[in-house]
Structure 1
Amino acid sequence: MTLTPIKDGEYTATVYKMIKDARYGDAIHILSTELQKQMKSRAALSLLGYCYYHVQDFSNAAECYEQLTQLHPEVEDYKLYYAQSLYGACAFQDAMKATFLLDSPASHSKALVEQLPADDLDTEVDHGCLLYKTGEYEKACAKFTAAMQVLGYQPDLAYNIALCHYSLKQYAAALKYIGEIIERGMREHPELGVGMTTEGIEVKSVGNTLVLHETALIEAFNLKAAIEYQLKKYDAAQEALTDMPPRSEEELDPVTLHNQALMNMDTKPSEGFEKLAFLLQQNPFPPVTFGNLILLYCKFEYFDLAADVMAENAHLTYKFLSPYLYEFLDALLTSQTAPEEAFRKLDEMAGRLTEQLRKVTKQVQDSRRARDDEGLKKSVEDYDQLLEEYIPVLMVQAKIYWNRENYNMVEKIFRKSVEFCNEHDMWKLNVAHVLFMQENKYKEAIGFYEPIVKKHYDNILNVSAIVLANLCVSYIMTSQNEEAEQLMRKIEKEEEQISYNDPDKKVFHLCIVNLVIGTLYCAKGNYDFGISRVIKSLEPYNKKLGTDTWFYIKRCFLSLLENMAKHMIMLRDSVVQDCVQFLEHCELYGRDVPAVIEQPLEEERMHIGKNTVTYEARMLKALFYEVIGWNE
């Protein structure tokens, strides 16, 4: 913010000298007195607003500039300063509305900056902001760094530098600056309660104070959460949000509210959808809100809601969705009603992306030959970005045929993409699944599952339970029983270690592996062995009975009951007794275990008494009695 010379009072020379000497408090006293003499003096109001801004009394500064915008609407500077003051006072929505008063906010800002003195440090920061806005992150970072070297450490400048590094995907450098912001904030302002919520200590809201604003702690924690989320460290991302100074929900800024919704979707999806939908009704909202809400609706298979949001906010699609994302979402939604048309759209997208991937691959090779490190780095980044766009297109294409159980066609789709995707983890995992489902390609499935498991062998519980289960089944089906047993011993050893460290924690990996093996034997008609394996897998019940494990159990039992009812199999009485006793144990331990996880936005909820393992176990037991003709 610069001072515009205005001379319409004798006091101005004295005030200008005070401002030059940074005696803002004295200047405010004189100006306030002057305003009492002559109401709404332009000079006094302008200087007073400037002084209030520089002592960081943004609320009073905003009040001064608001009056000036009303008295002199022709002066664009006052509109800009009004918006800046509102932003400083944390009145973000009002600040955004104030920018709408500007004739051309972006061009006007650039013109104003170009008019500033070259040796003014504020000019350096303003240039940095404009460079960042135009995507020139390295140059912006240099401007902010230069300003901080002269001005000394300032949290807002440190945050700007961190943000530049984040935009350049230099996460380690960004986290270094974020760590310093947090460390200083904790040391200088212990009253802000950083980290106390995470530690389970109840702390009352610290409010949106100017002190909090000056520390840049909220911005730092949000950026830290974003980085951890990008690195797929989801627990660390959630912790970053709970570490920030505590505020009540109505005091949360839009960015924090958005991040809370996004990072807690797996555990609190209903709240997440509610927060994102609320943000979409606000002005402004974080730009990524629109796309994220639609993508999450699709993830939870609320395709009608996703389509409604796009239709009702057509004006936002051009503003907040990239051409790629719009085209992808259009094809994804089309796949629900017209899969052939959707496949055609996706095929066109895939064709364009593969052409671009080949072009960038050549650029990578050329840069290597020319030993152009900078060009190589840029080409590799471009390739990775294109691949991240190509993979989702490929997966939706594959899912169209997966839903039809046409696994041979899914395999063909994946084989076509091997040129680019053979090193991509998601591609390899899905190829493994489709080979496994064909029931005659277990050996090939092992070739894809094994590298995934070996990559995490020292922390094997980081691997999805179904991947471990499918690999064990593949070993068994190819007569590699020793390999299957070795893998299961490794899982058991890690689960025992977890139980030792945290006796109350439920871990389901080995249980699910045994359940899938039991299901395999049941599917092959060997119910005696298969059901006994299922029963033994759930011991001890208090640690192994959960919604996921119950899903496999009831599938086996329903299959058994169907075959018994058709008189296709006969069970020995001892096995029947074991089954009934097993279901009684499930009934006992399943009172607080949901039988199914309901979709978060379902209008008709299941009866609370029926959505339990206890209820379904009783139903299965009753079916047993009916099928074998027992009387309880």
Structure 2
Amino acid sequence: MPVTMIKDGEYTATVYKMIKEGRYGDAIHILSKEHQKHTKSRAALSLLGYCYYHMQDFTNAAECYEQLTQLHPEAEDYKLYYAQSLYGACAFPEAMKATFLLDSSTNHTKMIKLQAAIKYGEEDFAGAKTLVEQLPQEDPDYDVDLGCLLYKEGEYEEACKKFMSSMNVLGYQPDLAYNIALCYYSLKQYAAALKYIAEIIERGIREHPELSIGMTTEGIDVRSVGNTLVLHETALIEAFNLKSAIEYQLKNYAAAQEALTDMPPRSEEELDPVTLHNQALMNMDTKPTEGFEKLAFLLQQNPFPPVTFGNLLLLYCKYEYFDLAADVLAENAHLTYKFLTPYLFEFLDAMITCQTAPEEAFRKFDEIAGKLTEQLRKVTKQEARHNRDDDSLKKYVQDYDEVLERYIPVLMAQAKIYWNRENYSTVEKIFHKSLEFCNEHDTWKLNVAHVLFMQDNKYKEAIGFYEPIVKKHYENILNVSAIVLANLCVSYIMTSQNEEAEELMRKIEKEEEQISYDDPDKKIFHLCIVNLVIGTLYCAKGNYDFGISRVIKSLEPYNKKLGTDTWFYAKRCFLSLLENMAKHMIMLRDSVVQECIQFLEHCELYGKDVPAIIEQPLEEDRMHIGKNTVTYESRLIKALFYEVTGWNE
């Protein structure tokens, strides 16, 4: 029966049917109208509170149950539901106050459990533990609650044992399986965590097909399943978020994004804070503006994921919005000590200082680096003393890796200060000082290769660092960054190893052809960028005839090779050529000029939808949409060619 056709007094049976079918939104629509007509209707108000609670709309549920406690103070259940709704809405002080209205003789155990949960939510873990210890040890929630408290104390192994013990007593429960997975994640035992996550997801798919798991990833357009109690009880949202976090830690970024799209579909306003945070983080490369907006929005909510504050600040620094980072730090000083470790605070402080006082920033980074190198040496000594104890050795190796992962960003930030000044010899010295700790780290080796390459006379040494990176991925060579492949090819050419350069380029071409065969519409830029960098090299050496010709050929066919990055390399060569021609330092043959103009006309034709530059996500003064295209810029360069060469269209 359509909602609009229900007559007075007929709503109850229809609402019960809707509730049974899980159509809480439709039920709320009817009940709201009924409640407006009969403001003291106990049935309508009670069902309305029930529906709101099952939709996880705890604020509205609390309002309903508050009215019921006032209308029917003798009904103990309404008092309990009111307190539970306030707890669900994170209104912890109000929830605690509401528990004091409960009759302790009939609701003692429920009251203690709810009060313990409230204390836990307020991060008063000592208070929560005192309350949990008042529960009978045979109570099924006793071990679960203790497990949660042990987890917060960092006792992940003990917490895991408690959750497993509870699972043995209570049987399989998705929330317990998630808690076990979370413990394994915190212990960095990712395979064990993924095993429990996989079971949660498999059961969800089997038992709740109505939740449309994985359909969004498959490209099927499905409606929101809403934030129902059923969804909450499956622990699917938590499981997918944890799976995404694990894949992100393992640097499987595509799998991390897929985990987020696999979860049951909900509209953006229905998303929980953790999902919203993870979506922002995973999509920063493609949608940075949206990412910043989501993280800034989360920071205004209570509660928000603890890592939000640090991640927002780090991303501001990554995109060089140092003023915004400084403002957020100043405006949220009360969050600094709660959510930032001393290391992260010192690192962010040094990053922000880079903008105005690079020398002072370098000194601050040096202090942080000194503390970290001391920790690395200490762990190395401990590792040497326990080299026969496998468990201790494993722990020290893990500790060493964790300290090293904090040291590398500090080292790179120091190096960047001198890299920006093109003082490459000093950058090399900075890297050389860290050789003792970093010589096996991929990021360190890659950046050493880059700094050697930039010094012109150290191509042979650069090859020694680039080659192992390329050989590591030789069977899937397109997994290597295009600029690494390009720099290695140039290094081969500059050291007269042309055969090696040609072999590498043939390998890249072969893989690109295979991908084009499998996916004809996909744009692949690796070989194009390699040729562009080689062409740029010849232009830099003054051989514009060959260099420009190489640049032009590298972008054919234009519909597959013309992109923002490839246009950047190409236009640099053309602008360098025009500058030298304007100064009468070089002369070009007419045939080459004709070739250049034809190339620019092709770019004009195929570049209508290709951005000329990627603008910073939070830039206030945006370029005119018509000017930020390859078409617009290619017309400008073509006009300069006519002016400099005296040619007429």
Indicate whether the TM-score tops 0.5. Answer: yes
Name 2:203's counterpart in structure 1.
Answer: 184
Specify which of 150, 154, 157 is matched with residue 135 of structure 1.
Answer: 154
Name 2:367's counterpart in structure 1.
Answer: 348
Specify which of 439, 445, 448 is matched with residue 422 of structure 1.
Answer: 439
TM-superposition CA deviations, 1:343-380 (whole Å, max 9, x none): 11111111111111111011111111xx1111111111
Structure 1 147/260 Cα, relative in aligned 2: closer, same or farther at 3 Å? same
Letter in 2 for 1:541: Y
Structure 1 113/539 Cα, relative in aligned 2: closer, same or farther at 3 Å? same
1:46·1:65 contact (CA, 8 Å) conserved in 2? no
Name 1:580's counterpart in structure 2.
Answer: 597
1:515·1:552 contact (CA, 8 Å) conserved in 2? yes
- Write the distance in 2 (CA, Å) between the matches of 1:125 and 1:78: 15
1:46·1:68 contact (CA, 8 Å) conserved in 2? no
- Write the distance in 1 (CA, Å) between the matches of 2:95 and 2:503: 74
Report the alpha carbon displacement of residue 301 of structure 1 after superposing the two structures with TM: 1.0
Which runs of at least 4 in structure 1 moved beyond 6 Å after TM superposition? 50-53, 64-67, 72-80
Q: Does 1:631 align with 2:636?
A: no
Q: Does 1:216 align with 2:235?
A: yes
Specify which of 281, 284, 289 is matched with residue 262 of structure 1.
Answer: 281
Q: Which runs of 5+ in 2 are unaligned?
A: 1-64
Aligned length: 576
Query: Any residues of structure 2 matched to 1:317-356 within 5 Å, and which?
Result: 317-356=336-375
1:45·1:68 contact (CA, 8 Å) conserved in 2? no
State the TM-score, normalizing by the size of structure 2.
Answer: 0.85
Letter in 1 for 2:289: S
Specify which of 525, 546, 567 is matched with residue 550 of structure 1.
Answer: 567
SS of 2:133 mapped into structure 1: helix
Q: Does 1:40 align with 2:50?
A: no
- Write the distance in 1 (CA, Å) between the matches of 2:248 and 2:624: 36
Bigger CA drift: 559-568 or 108-117?
108-117
- Write the distance in 1 (CA, Å) between the matches of 2:99 and 2:79: 14
Name 1:124's counterpart in structure 2.
Answer: 143
> What's the C-alpha RMSD, in Å, of the aligned pairs?
2.6
Q: Does 1:619 align with 2:619?
A: no
- Write the distance in 2 (CA, Å) between the matches of 1:197 and 1:427: 39
Name 2:430's counterpart in structure 1.
Answer: 413
Query: Any residues of structure 2 matched to 1:361-510 within 5 Å, and which?
Result: 361-368=380-387, 371-510=388-527
- Write the distance in 2 (CA, Å) between the matches of 1:578 and 1:39: 88
Report the alpha carbon displacement of residue 120 of structure 1 after superposing the two structures with TM: 2.6
Query: Any residues of structure 2 matched to 1:69-80 within 5 Å, and which?
Result: 69=99, 71=101
Letter in 2 for 1:168: L
Structure 1 458/321 Cα, relative in aligned 2: closer, same or farther at 3 Å? same
Paired-residue identity, %: 79
Letter in 2 for 1:607: H
Name 1:284's counterpart in structure 2.
Answer: 303
Q: Does 1:304 align with 2:334?
A: no
SS of 2:285 mapped into structure 1: coil
Structure 1 65/356 Cα, relative in aligned 2: closer, same or farther at 3 Å? closer
Name 2:290's counterpart in structure 1.
Answer: 271
1:129·1:140 contact (CA, 8 Å) conserved in 2? yes
Report the alpha carbon displacement of residue 223 of structure 1 after superposing the two structures with TM: 0.4
2:115·2:128 contact (CA, 8 Å) conserved in 1? no
- Write the distance in 1 (CA, Å) between the matches of 2:471 and 2:206: 44
- Write the distance in 2 (CA, Å) between the matches of 1:291 and 1:570: 55
Name 2:550's counterpart in structure 1.
Answer: 533
Report the alpha carbon displacement of residue 115 of structure 1 after superposing the two structures with TM: 2.2
Letter in 2 for 1:447: G
Structure 1 52/492 Cα, relative in aligned 2: closer, same or farther at 3 Å? same
TM-superposition CA deviations, 1:443-465 (whole Å, max 9, x none): 00000000000000010000000
TM-superposition CA deviations, 1:493-535 (whole Å, max 9, x none): 0000000000000000000000000000000000000000001
Report the alpha carbon displacement of residue 51 of structure 1 after superposing the two structures with TM: 13
Bigger CA drift: 345-354 or 402-411?
345-354
2:79·2:102 contact (CA, 8 Å) conserved in 1? no
1:279·1:289 contact (CA, 8 Å) conserved in 2? yes
2:534·2:547 contact (CA, 8 Å) conserved in 1? yes
State the TM-score, normalizing by the size of structure 1.
Answer: 0.87
Q: Which runs of 5+ in 1 are unaligned?
A: 1-31, 86-94
Report the alpha carbon displacement of residue 119 of structure 1 after superposing the two structures with TM: 2.7
Letter in 2 for 1:425: D
